[in-house]
Every structure is written in C-alpha cells, then in structure tokens.
Amino acid sequence: MSLSIAKLSTGALVAVALSFGSIAGHAADAPSKADLKKHESSPGGKYQPRMDVLRDEKVEQPGSTPGMPTLSAADYQKANQIYFERCAGCHGVLRKGATGKPLTTKVTRENGFEYLRDFITYGSPGGMPNWGDGGGLSKAQIDMMAAYLLMDPAQPPEFGMKEIMATWKVHVPVNKRPSKQMNKLDLDNLFSVTLRDTGQIALIDGATKEITQIIDTGYAVHISRISASGRYLFVIGRDAKVNLIDMYMDPPTSVAEIKVGSEARSVETSKMKGWEDTYAIAGAYWPPQFVIMNGDDLKPRKVVSTRGMTVGTQEYHPEPRVAAIVGSHYHPDFLVNVKETGKVMMVDYSSLKALKITTIDAARFLHDGGFDSTGRYFMAAANASNIISVIDTKRRKLVKNITVGTTPHPGRGANFNHPKYGPVWATSHLGDETIALIGTDPDGHPQYAWKLVQSLEGQGGGSLFVKTHPKSKNLYVDTPLNPEAEVSSSIAVFDLNDPSKEYEVLPIGEWSGITEGVRRVVQGEYNFAGDEVWFSVWNSASQESAIVIVDDKTRKLKHVIRDKRLVTPTGKFNFYNTRKDVY
Ligand code: DHE
C-alpha cells in the first residue's frame, strides 16, 4: 500500500489499495489462536491503566507529514479516544513506551501501515493483546489506529499551578468549621467505601453496618486516605480531583476540592510527628507530577514534575506516572513511587521553598506498596519487574531489591509474625498463584531479613490484595481478576500458625446472596477491633453489588450489606487502620 494518501477516513480506508502480499508475510508471524486467547484473558492484561479522563479531552490534531496518512478531524478524535482508553496505559500518553513498547513515529514509520495493522489485529506473544479477531476493535477501527500511529503523537495539555489554582474551591473555610467533633460517628470504626462507577464514597458505620452518608467525589473514584489526627478524609478520583472531607462537621462535609492534573490515582497526608494534618500530597498519571497542598484547605503549594531518567539504563522518560505515595513516620517525608523511571522520591516537606528530595534508585514500574509492621521500611512493588524494593525510611536508603513472583500486587501488603521466620510482609501476585513472604526483622531475625523466605500457593493468579491484622491469625488473599468465576468470587484464607497448611476457600460471592454478575470479590479490610474482615462483591454498575463481612475467628459469614446505593463498591478504608497504617 502506498501511504502517500493525503487523508484517510474510516470509510475511505476501505477504498485504499492495500498490498495483501506483505500482510501474508506478517501473518506467518501471527501468534496461534491459543496464544491470542491467553492475552485476552490474562489478569495482567486486564489490569492496565485506562486514561479514561484524558480520552475525553480535546487534543490538537498534529499537522500532516508528507507520505504519511492523515485522518479526518472526527476520525482523529475517535482514534485518540481509543488510544487513551486502551493503549496509553502500556505505551504511554506520548507513545514513548511504558510497560509496552514505544510507538514513536520512528518505530511505526519504519514498520509501516500493514505491519501495524497486523500487529494490532493479532497482538504478539510478548504480551500485546489481539485487538482484532474478537479482541474488541473492528477492522475499520484497526485501520484507523494503524493510520493514527503513523501520525505524530497527540500532546495532551500540561496542568501547572495556574490550571491547578483555577480548579481549587474552598466550600467551607477553616474558620467556619467546628473546633470539635459535632457528630456522633465512631470515627475509628467508620469505613470510607469507594463507589467506583458513581464517583462517590459511602461512609459505613462499623458497628451498625449502615450507610451513614453518600458523598460525591471525583470520576471513577480510586482511594481514600485519612489525616494523622483522624479529622480529615481525602478522596481522589481518576480525574485527579481531590475532595477534602471534614469529619468533625455534622454531617461530614466536603470542605474543599482541587484538581492536580488530568489523570491521577494517589493521595496521602503528612504523618510525621509535629506535622500531623499539615500537608496533603496527590500524584498524577498525567501530567507526570505531584502536588503538595495545605492539609486543611487543599491550597496548592508546590508542583513537582517527575520527568527524568530511568534507573539502570538512565534514559530520559517524558511521562513517568506517580503511583503509590506514603507518609514517612521517621522524617517529614513523602515517599513517591515514580512508576516508569523506577525511582522513589523521598520529598522532605519541612521546607517547601528549599525542597530537598532524596531520589532512590529502586526498580522500574513501581506501583503499590506499604510499610512493614514497624512502619520503618517501605515495601514497594515494581510490578512489571517482579521486584519488591525495600526502602529504609529512617536512613533514606534502598535496603534491597527482592525478586518475587510474576507481577506482585500487594495493595499495602500484610504483616504478621511467622512461626519460623519472625516478622514477615506478604504480597500476592497478578501473574501467578503464589504469595511471597519476605522477612522484615533485621535485628531479631537477621538471617531471614529482606529475603523471600516462603512462597505459599494460593488459588490462582489475578490477585490484587492480601490482608491480615495484628490481632488475627488469618491471612486473606483475593483473586478478583482470575479468569475462573469460582476463583474470582471467593477468597483463600491461610492459617498464620502454620502458613504452609492448605488454605480454606470462603465462597464470599455466594454468601452475598447475589446470583447475577461476575461477583468479583475484592480487597479485604478489617474493622477497628480486628475481629471482622469486610470484602466487596463487585459487580457492574447495572447489577447489584454487596459487602460481605466475615467473622475473623470462626471464618464464618457474619453480615451482608445490600443496599441499592452500594453501586460498584471496591476499596474500603477503615479510618483507624488506614490512618495508623495497620495492615
Ligand atoms: Fe488501583 C491503589 C493504580 C485499577 C482498586 N491503585 C492503587 C494505587 C495505585 C493504583 C497507583 C496506590 C495508591 C496509593 O497507595 O497511594 N489501579 C491503579 C491503576 O493504574 C489501575 C491498574 C488501572 C486504572 O486505570 O486505574 C488500577 N484499582 C484498580 C481497579 O480496577 C480496582 C481493583 C478497583 C477500582 O476501584 O478501580 C482498584 N487500587 C484499588 C484499591 C487501592 C488501589 C482498593 C487501595 C488499596 C489499599 O489497600 O490501599
């Protein structure tokens, strides 16, 4: 096919003379049907970031390049939407590569239209899913995407202080707020529950199990974090909107909001002694940056870009996303996981005017993570590198990169005292059935510290979260992204007196009483007392979902919360456990 076509539209493409001879050449490299199926259904494949918010932002269409196709304005926007929704998570917003390969014009133009079209259609054994052949895109859409990739990449807008300020709203100023708690809520045993698809959170009382309030937050709301004093609840949406909710008001009220970018996933608050509630921080996927704000009204104070060099090969990365952020208990530091460069930025917030950042080389593709039981060591999962990086927050140093199973995904992980190895921290994996236990006690058990001391075998891959509690003898492992319905709707529970003992399966989906939908069971969360563990039964927005509560001692069903306001509940954040890093 000659690419010297001035303008292609979805319809027009069909009329373009395509050279099927060369396609046949590529088709010989196409993976087998069995492989295609594998890519479609792999848990890792399902769990890639979607830039759903950026997708809807209008971007300027790049000018045409001689010899290269160009799309009509309408098709360009359509292609752009598909790219942000389905491709940018792996290949990067600017197409410079992330966990997926770069798709710069240098690469795409070298390969040409037909190659791209085949590649998109069939995928590759390297992990790219097949988008054709029932993989989600029509032939016309694939042609459009092949042409789109030959054009210069779209450049979504930056979001600097001016844009951030323009979104900042204080609904109730600090001096108009109460000085003590005016409601009767038990703030230690309250849960903030993500209602993903309605862009809301539900506050649920731990004792009565009643929804006390629904609060509007950002789009496809992601996580909640609680300030060190327990007064403020921070919630972040995928649209990078942060809501600050004052839990002293009656009823609790969103007193301020702000947008820190176009796409985001993480928010945290200052936890160091003497700095409680002083600052909040939110990290963005786009633009690649984090923003430090006042803890009581979200006034933005400092915007810091994360663009820079990768660990190892030290190549420039133009869009390293901010993943998990934790607040240090040893220094006035935020620890910011920068995904694509593989660096943990320890941001000393004691002086915002002379910001000191200790940049630690960890491993590429940092995602989630949490503290060990002492709160000193940050265990960060570099998921696509199969590594847990251990950072000593006291000495501001990397302790070790530990290789675990395929695609670790701990959430914040789980800490317990192992009968043989002493204190350990656990993570499960998206890509295999194992649960990795890492020794975390360099003083009491130096021979096991920072080693993968045991690998338990769970129900299967597709796990996202593990959970236990200092008072519990159980370790719960979810598998919401496992392709088997029976596995994704149940939980494996291990006995911590003897972790090598066969796990028990709790049929949480069945216990919910809901019979429709996939009933994905996700993210265990303990109550304040540590004697109940709550699981979400996550169905699509048009179906019923629930929260199932298990009695931790007996592992028996204790209660089911079914309420029509409980739409797509996913993350649950007990106020006490979240603020004190109990997990
Ligand atoms: Fe999450 C935490 C990113 C999909 C539920 N998720 C996180 C964190 C990041 C992240 C960076 C850590 C925040 C922190 O600690 O500061 N999540 C992403 C993605 O990029 C991804 C893969 C795709 C996307 O486009 O967002 C993604 N996450 C999901 C889901 O599909 C889940 C299961 C359901 C949902 O609500 O969207 C989900 N993520 C969660 C939860 C946490 C989380 C419940 C907090 C766990 C905790 O215990 O702290």
Which tens digit of pLDDT belongs to each residue from 456-497? 999 999 999 999 999 999 999 999 999 999 999 999 999 999
On whether the CB atoms of residues 386 and 411 are closer than 8 A, the answer is no
d(CA 272, CA 550) in angstroms, rounded, equals: 34
Check pocket membership of 46 for ligand 1, CB cut-off 6 A. Answer: no
Query: In the 8-state DSSP scheme, what is residue 47?
Result: S
Query: Which atom of ligand 1 is closest in space to residue 367's alpha carbon?
Result: 11
**Structural tokens at position 20:** 């099927």
Q: pLDDT at position 52, please?
A: 82
**CA pseudo-torsion sign 510, 512, 514, 519:** negative
Check pocket membership of 493 for ligand 1, CB cut-off 6 A. Answer: no
Q: pLDDT at position 20, please?
A: 25
Q: pLDDT at position 15, please?
A: 27
C-alpha closest to that of 576 among 217, 229, 221: 229
User: Ligand 1 centroid to 284 CA: how many Å?
Assistant: 13
Check pocket membership of 260 for ligand 1, CB cut-off 6 A. Answer: no
Check pocket membership of 369 for ligand 1, CB cut-off 6 A. Answer: no
User: Ligand 1 centroid to 368 CA: how many Å?
Assistant: 8
pTM of the model: 0.90
d(CA 263, CA 331) in angstroms, rounded, equals: 29
CA-to-CA separations, 375 to 335, 415, 464, 582, in angstroms, rounded: 13, 11, 22, 9
Mutate to test the pocket of ligand 1, among 53, 226, 233, 265 (most ligand atoms within 8 A of CB): 265
Check pocket membership of 464 for ligand 1, CB cut-off 6 A. Answer: yes
Residue nearest to atom 37 of ligand 1 (CA): 222
User: Ligand 1 centroid to 442 CA: how many Å?
Assistant: 30
Check pocket membership of 481 for ligand 1, CB cut-off 6 A. Answer: no
Q: pLDDT at position 16, please?
A: 30
- Using DSSP, state whether 372 is helix, strand or coil: coil
Query: Which atom of ligand 1 is closest in space to residue 266's alpha carbon?
Result: 16
- Regions of the chain short of the pLDDT cut 70: 1-46
CB count in 10 Å sphere of residue 229: 14
C-alpha closest to that of 238 among 96, 89, 340: 89
On whether the CB atoms of residues 567 and 198 are closer than 8 A, the answer is yes
Q: pLDDT at position 18, please?
A: 29
User: Ligand 1 centroid to 293 CA: how many Å?
Assistant: 22
User: Ligand 1 centroid to 464 CA: how many Å?
Assistant: 9
The helix, strand and coil proportions of the chain, stated in percent and rounded to the nearest 5, come to 20, 35, 45
What CA dihedral angle connects 11, 12, 13 and 17, to 10 degrees? Answer: 140
Check pocket membership of 366 for ligand 1, CB cut-off 6 A. Answer: no
Query: Which atom of ligand 1 is closest in space to residue 321's alpha carbon?
Result: 11
- Element (H or E) spanning 322, and its range? strand 322-327
Going by C-beta distance under 8 Å and a sequence separation of 6 or more, which residues neighbour residue 47? 409, 430, 464, 481
Q: What is the 3-state secondary structure (H, E, C) of 223-255?
A: EEEECCCCCEEEEECCCCEEEEEECCCCCCEEE
User: Ligand 1 centroid to 461 CA: how many Å?
Assistant: 17
Residue nearest to atom 19 of ligand 1 (CA): 49
- Using DSSP, state whether 288 is helix, strand or coil: coil
User: Ligand 1 centroid to 272 CA: how many Å?
Assistant: 25
Q: pLDDT at position 132, please?
A: 87
The strand pairing partners of 245, in sequence order, are: 233, 254
Catalytic positions: 87, 90-91, 128, 367, 409
Residue nearest to atom 12 of ligand 1 (CA): 324
Place of tokens 């319905």: 485
Check pocket membership of 50 for ligand 1, CB cut-off 6 A. Answer: yes
